Structure formats: structure tokens, C-alpha cells
Structure 1
Amino acid sequence: MIGRALRLLGWLMLAIVSAIAIWLFVGNRNPDLNQPSTPPADAKQQIARGEYLARIGNCMSCHTARGGQPYAGGRAIPTPFGDIYASNLTPDKQTGIGDWNSDDFWRAMHDGRSKDGSLLYPAFPYTSFTKVTRADSDAIFAWLQTLPSVNQQNRAPELRSPYDNRWLLYAWRALYFRPGQYANDDSRSVAWNRGAYLTQGLGHCAACHSTRNRFGGIDEKTALGGGMIPVLNWYAPPLNGDRQDGLGAWEIEHIAAFMQTGITPQRAATGPMAEVVAGSLQHLTSDDARAIAGYLQSLPQQSAPPLAGPDLRDEGKKAMISAGAKLYKDNCAACHQESGRGVPSVYPALAGNRTVTSPVIANVIRVVLHGGFAPSTAGNPRPYGMPPFAQSLSDDEVAAVVTYIRNAWGNEANAVSPVDVNRYRSRPLP
């Protein structure tokens, strides 16, 4: 009886919250939604622009299942609440967006609603895409309509209760979503505004590089301040001008090169970022890449850096460093060099590498266990990769070698324990 009463109380509270959220949502409808479409001066140019925008928005990555037809949907987007499957964006009239018009597409991009008015789950990043202009939305839609039509049914989300109740989206949107296009800052340069527009909008960088709360919402005050990527459990570092944890110490050319090629003289993209570079960022024009780099570097530190946990006692840490030094010489020094400086643009440096010394140890452990694979890009078509050591090294050995590289060549960071390593051993790269 008590359990039933609690369930009823829970549903009653849900109904009240949803009703309040609907009231708030209706009262905050965005007048920009009815912004009319303007016919393009050159239809071919609009389509070409739409292809470019779709690429840098990384649409293909999410809307293409492994081994499936491009943009035909079906890829599972994992969330803490269950899996949501990307929809079919090809112009098939039964299963895709063939019977949509540019107004329908604009509504989805800008307001997070499907053609029939139903609310879209924010796994589709309309919280960022709402910043996109009507002209750019129309260009993307025009290009999508030129794709080969693929008849492939969309899959329903597989969410746990009560998150499978779409009425909850009204509450979520009332808390975490405000439609609105990007507005230029007239006190800034054209390049800065371009970088801000791409970062906040199509780039949807905040979707990964921000801390999310238990309901999947992002506090705008800490956006781009770094955060763990839900479910994937990789750490996306801060994208701001902080010299230690962010991009403040990078050269603009290196930030742009990292996005376009996946490498810099001292670094290489791995994990989820490698997929983003391969499928999206490598297609940026040089001007757009530099604009994004300049904008990011101008941002202040949005939140305090993550804190390190308790360290081992000196004797234990010294023993791990000693054991790790031998393991490093036997397994790592041939590429990363005994000096830890690596080989520029080939093998990343470990000395002075913030990924190595970060208080968030997920990335460095995962790369040692599962390997590090930079993306193949036009600017770096045959990247060097790092083999996985999960099969050849035990948890104790991985902990020792990671602790060593976090404290060699002037690096200074907490020790890593075998328990930390085991936590990520069963979670391979996405």
C-alpha cells in the first residue's frame, strides 16, 4: 500500500511539474520562429553552402549507423536515460524528410519540434542549433533534399521510465532551453563573431565540453568549462583562454590545425574528439577554423578546474614511479622518447601535456588501455596510432606507468591506482 501511495504521489508531482512547465513554455514562445524563408539568389550556391554547413555541424556522424546508408539514421545515441536513435534525414517521403519543407526544418533546428509539432529529445542538439540563422537552416535543408532517398524506418527511443514520457520534455525545456538566434557583439571583430556563431551554433561544442547536471541540462555559466561526456565517460577539457587547463597557452595556428588535421606538433586528437575531427572539423575553411580558435581563446575561465583526489603516501608513490619507469622504457620510449618529448606531429609529447597530468584521469588511462588513434584527415591522411596495452599490461602495471608519466620530466600529479585502471578497462573506445 505504501509503495502504491508513493508511486501515485510521484505521478501527481510529475503532473504538477509538467503543468507548470507547459505554462512557462507557452509563455516563453519565441517570436523568431515565424521568421520567413528568403529565396536564395543562387540555388546552386545555397546547396553548396548547405553541404559545408552540414559537415561542420557533424550531421552525418550521428545520422549514419555503422555500416548504414549516409544520413539514413538508425545510430544509437547513448544517454544516461537510455538510447535515442537518430532519425532519417534523406528525402524519402515515408521515412525521411521528403515531405518536409524549409519551415518544418527550421522549426526542428530552432525550436526542437518535429513536423507534426511533437517535441524532439535534446540528444538532437537544438539547444545549440537554435542559434543558427534562417538562411543557414534553409541552406542545410536544401542540400539534404539532394541526397539519395533511403527508405529506412526510424526507431523509437528506448528510454527508462519515467523518461520515456515525452510530457517531461516540457519541464526540461522550461528549465534548460531558450530559443533564440545568435546576436552579433558589435564591440567585437567580424572574425570573433563568426567564431562565436559557429561554436555556439552548428559546432555545438558545449554539448561535450560542459558539465551536465543529473537531468542532462547545462548551466550556461559553466558552458565550455570542461566536463565528462555522459555514458562515454571521456573528459572533454575546457575550451577557454585559461593557460593551464584551457587553450590560453596554445598558438592560434595550432588550435586551427588541431581542428583541421587532428594533430599539432605536440598533440593528437583521440577518443570522441578524433571522430569529431574526422567527420566534421577537418572540413572547416582556414578562416572559420581561425575564427573559432580566436573566439575560444578569448573566453575567461568559466568554472574552477577539477580537484585531484587524495594522493598515495610518498613511499607507495615512489615505488610506483620506479616500477613505471622500467615499463615506460620497455613499452613507450621508442615512440614518446626517453625525454617524454615525443616526435613533433607524429608521437605526442608527454612532458608538459595537460591530458597526462589532469586531475581527471579518465583519458590518460583509456588511451594506455585501449590505444590512441588520431583521425585520418586530408591534412594528415596516414596518422600514427598508439597500440592498446590492455592485453599485455595488468592493472598494477598500467597504474605504475601512468603514475610515472604523470610525474616525470617536470610533470607533477597524483598517483593512479589499479582500482582507477580497472574502472576503465571494460570501457573501450566508442
Structure 2
Amino acid sequence: MTRFVGFAALAALTLCSTAASGAELPFDQIQAGRYQAVLGDCAGCHTLPGGAPFAGGVALATPFGKLVAPNITPDVETGVGGWSESDFRDAMKTGIGHNGVRLYPAMPYPAYTKMSDRDVGDLWAYLRSLQPVKNEIKSNLLPFPFNIRAVMIGWNWLNFTPGAFKADPNRSTEWNRGAYIVQGAGHCATCHSPKTALGADKASAFLGGAVLQDWLAPTITNAPRVGLGGWSVDDVTAYLKTGANRFDIASGPMAEVVTNSTAKMTDADLRAIAVYLKDLPGEANKAVPVAADDPGMKAGAAVYADNCSACHGLKGEGQPKLFPALAGDPV
């Protein structure tokens, strides 16, 4: 889901090809590409608040330094105007951009590699249809040695396997659609999977939760206590559609994801995502009871009463559609 605040959401560090007017491109393809941009939350990284759409400028803090999302409008000099469709496809699916420039995984090509060629082509058509914006951006602000792009050769060898999504014939069409979005364009693991020391997703803990720029991206597997185990498919769908359900209200980066991306998805796709996530197993992580007279319990109760109860209720019951219930909240 998009702004990656950890080392994985910068879209293509200068993407595209010779700009073409919308009239030269099939309208249906442009519209399909617009929807791919919604699924990928491209605006989350490439549109600065108050700035021109997709003109870049959003700073992304990673454990290795700062990256700035590039201009991906079809401006020839400062944006994406000099790329071919083949260049763009390579960037999305292999992490190697125009003129062989190696991209950082802040542009989540490890997820985008799972997108179909058709969906990538549609996204390319949409980007070409955008109004060109002249906005030069220095994207790579990483310190030495991370600013040397050649290091990505080793990173890719260790952490990246290119290849399109393969449907599971033993699963439903709906489940496979959800898996395709979550693993591919939606790049949910970019924020919700814990990272290795090199900034790669830990495959063994897929969607097991992570902390990014002091924000918790929680476990979104069906784990019963710390994940979505207590949520129904309808709960997950409502949260993605509106940013709220009977358990929780989106805030911080996730609120931006809802605004820019999931709220604009079709109901069918939202349900497919929910069906897939609810099918992912998670560790039980059984709670260890703490005695009521434990000093920490007493202190916590006092802190809660003074600072939280006015909104979330004396017993953590919350207020529907205003303040989430905290008692028994699995996320």
C-alpha cells in the first residue's frame, strides 16, 4: 500500500517515453491505466501535497538515507518523457530503468514484477496521457556508499526474483484477484512486512507487521490477536473503503492510502483483497495475563483514564465511526 516509509515505495526514478497526447492513445486503455495507478497508490509518492499531480517531490525517509520521489509526468527534460514502453516495463518488472539505471527498492519493483504486461502497459498509457510538468528533482540523496546504484546488483541477487503472478488453480477467482493486487500493484508488503538488515522483505513473515518512521504497519494476516483474526471480510472491506470499521479508524500513512487508493477501488476488488488477507495464516501469539494488582497495570489504568478515556470510553468501548474501540481490538 503506498508511501513506503522504510525502503520500498519510490516509483520509477524517472519513468516513461516520448510524451503522447491523450488523443493518440485509446481512451479505454488510459482509463484502465488510471485504475492501475489507483491500485498502486502512485499519487502517494509522486504527488506532493498542493503540487502538480505526479510531478514528484515527496521525500521518503529510509533507514539508509533520504530519497525523493521523481517526476513521472511525460515532461521530456525533467519527467518521464524520454522512455520507451519497454524501458518502463523493465523498470517496473526488473528494477532497471532507462539507460540501464538501477532503481532502489523504494520503488517497489519487487512487488510490481508480479503485474501482468497488460496492466503495466495500461499504466504506461495513462502516464503518457498526463499533462507534462517541468519539475526537476534530485531523487538520490542517500549517503555513500548507498548512493552508488551499482550496489543494487548485489541487492537484487540476494533479495529479488523477477516473475509475474501465478494464479493458484486450487483457489477461487476472487482469492486469486486479491492475491494479485496485494502481492503486485498494491505492494502491501512494502509497509506491512518486516525488513531484513538490507531493507528487503522477510519472506518468512509476509505481512507480519513493521514499524516505519515511527508508525506501526500492523500484521494483516488472519492472526487471531495481533492481526485480522477478529475481523470479518466485511470489516476489512469497510476499513479499506471508508477508513473505518467497528474496530479501527485509519490514521497517518494508512489514512493517506485510503484517500488516494483503496477508497477509489471497486467494491469487487476490495472484497477480493479481504478474502485473500483473511485466508493468510498467522501466529497465534497468545496473550500472557498480567495480574490486576501489578504496578504496571495500575499505572496503565491511570494513564488511560487521564489521557484516553474521554474519546475511547471508560472501558475502551470507543464511539462508532468517531473513535475506535480499544478493548479487544486485534489491530
Identify if the C-alpha distance between structure 1 residues 79 and 298 changes in structure 2 by more than 3 Å, giving closer, same or farther. same
The TM-score, its normalising length taken from structure 1, stands at: 0.67
Instruction: Give the counterpart of 2:303 among 324, 330, 333.
Output: 324
Instruction: Give the counterpart of 2:327 among 335, 351, 362.
Output: 351
Q: Is the contact between residue 76 and residue 83 of structure 1 (CA under 8 Å) also seen in structure 2?
A: yes
Residue type matched to 1:257 in 2? A
- The structure, 1 or 2, with the larger RCO (C-alpha pairs under 8 Å, 6+ apart) is 2
Distance (whole Å) between structure 1 residues aligned to residue 159 and residue 299 of structure 2: 45
Relative to its length, the structure with more helix (as a share) is 1
Answering whether residue 53 of structure 2 is matched by residue 70 of structure 1, we say yes
The root-mean-square deviation of aligned C-alpha atoms, in Å, is 2.2
SS in 1 for 2:36: helix
Alpha-carbon displacement from aligned partner over 1:324-369 (angstroms, at most 9, x marks no partner): 36415xxx444323332122222211211234xxxxxxxxxxxxxx
Residue type matched to 1:140 in 2? L
Residue type matched to 2:192 in 1? H
Corresponding residue number in structure 1 for 2:129: 146
Residue type matched to 2:299 in 1? M
Distance (whole Å) between structure 2 residues aligned to residue 304 and residue 121 of structure 1: 34
- Counterparts of 1:381-420 in structure 2 under 5 Å? none
Corresponding residue number in structure 1 for 2:3: none
Distance (whole Å) between structure 2 residues aligned to residue 49 and residue 94 of structure 1: 27
Instruction: Give the counterpart of 2:256 among 268, 275, 284.
Output: 275
Distance (whole Å) between structure 1 residues aligned to residue 68 and residue 304 of structure 2: 45
- 1:97 is displaced (CA, Å) by 1.4
- 1:306 is displaced (CA, Å) by 10
- 1:253 is displaced (CA, Å) by 1.0
Identify if the C-alpha distance between structure 1 residues 227 and 156 changes in structure 2 by more than 3 Å, giving closer, same or farther. closer
Corresponding residue number in structure 2 for 1:28: none
Instruction: Give the counterpart of 1:339 among 307, 315, 318.
Output: 315
Corresponding residue number in structure 2 for 1:406: none
Identify if the C-alpha distance between structure 1 residues 322 and 97 changes in structure 2 by more than 3 Å, giving closer, same or farther. closer
- 1:322 is displaced (CA, Å) by 5.3
Distance (whole Å) between structure 2 residues aligned to residue 293 and residue 218 of structure 1: 21
Answering whether residue 136 of structure 2 is matched by residue 157 of structure 1, we say no
Corresponding residue number in structure 1 for 2:177: 194
Regions of 4+ moved over 4 Å: 303-308, 311-315
Answering whether residue 298 of structure 2 is matched by residue 298 of structure 1, we say no
Identify if the C-alpha distance between structure 1 residues 255 and 84 changes in structure 2 by more than 3 Å, giving closer, same or farther. same
- Counterparts of 1:86-235 in structure 2 under 5 Å? 86-229=69-212, 232-235=213-216
Identify if the C-alpha distance between structure 1 residues 162 and 335 changes in structure 2 by more than 3 Å, giving closer, same or farther. same
Alpha-carbon displacement from aligned partner over 1:362-387 (angstroms, at most 9, x marks no partner): xxxxxxxxxxxxxxxxxxxxxxxxxx
Distance (whole Å) between structure 2 residues aligned to residue 307 and residue 265 of structure 1: 22
Distance (whole Å) between structure 2 residues aligned to residue 289 and residue 188 of structure 1: 17
Distance (whole Å) between structure 1 residues aligned to residue 110 and residue 319 of structure 2: 40
Q: Is the contact between residue 53 and residue 202 of structure 1 (CA under 8 Å) also seen in structure 2?
A: yes
Distance (whole Å) between structure 2 residues aligned to residue 111 and residue 306 of structure 1: 40
Distance (whole Å) between structure 2 residues aligned to residue 163 and residue 324 of structure 1: 43
Instruction: Give the counterpart of 1:57 among 40, 53, 62.
Output: 40
- What is the number of equivalent residue pairs in this alignment? 306
Residue type matched to 2:122 in 1? A
Identify if the C-alpha distance between structure 1 residues 304 and 249 changes in structure 2 by more than 3 Å, giving closer, same or farther. closer
SS in 2 for 1:256: helix
Distance (whole Å) between structure 2 residues aligned to residue 349 and residue 322 of structure 1: 16
Residue type matched to 1:112 in 2? G
Distance (whole Å) between structure 2 residues aligned to residue 273 and residue 312 of structure 1: 34
Distance (whole Å) between structure 2 residues aligned to residue 323 and residue 273 of structure 1: 29
Residue type matched to 1:233 in 2? D
Alpha-carbon displacement from aligned partner over 1:292-332 (angstroms, at most 9, x marks no partner): 0000111112x675999xx899553254145336415xxx4
Q: Is the contact between residue 225 and residue 285 of structure 2 (CA under 8 Å) also seen in structure 1?
A: no
Corresponding residue number in structure 1 for 2:7: none
Alpha-carbon displacement from aligned partner over 1:52-89 (angstroms, at most 9, x marks no partner): 11012010110122332110112111111111111111
Distance (whole Å) between structure 2 residues aligned to residue 307 and residue 218 of structure 1: 26
SS in 1 for 2:98: coil
Gap regions ≥5 residues in structure 2: 1-24
SS in 1 for 2:67: strand
Q: Is the contact between residue 108 and residue 115 of structure 1 (CA under 8 Å) also seen in structure 2?
A: yes
Q: Is the contact between residue 74 and residue 80 of structure 2 (CA under 8 Å) also seen in structure 1?
A: yes
- 1:147 is displaced (CA, Å) by 1.0
Distance (whole Å) between structure 1 residues aligned to residue 257 and residue 294 of structure 2: 42
Distance (whole Å) between structure 2 residues aligned to residue 321 and residue 134 of structure 1: 53
Corresponding residue number in structure 1 for 2:218: 237
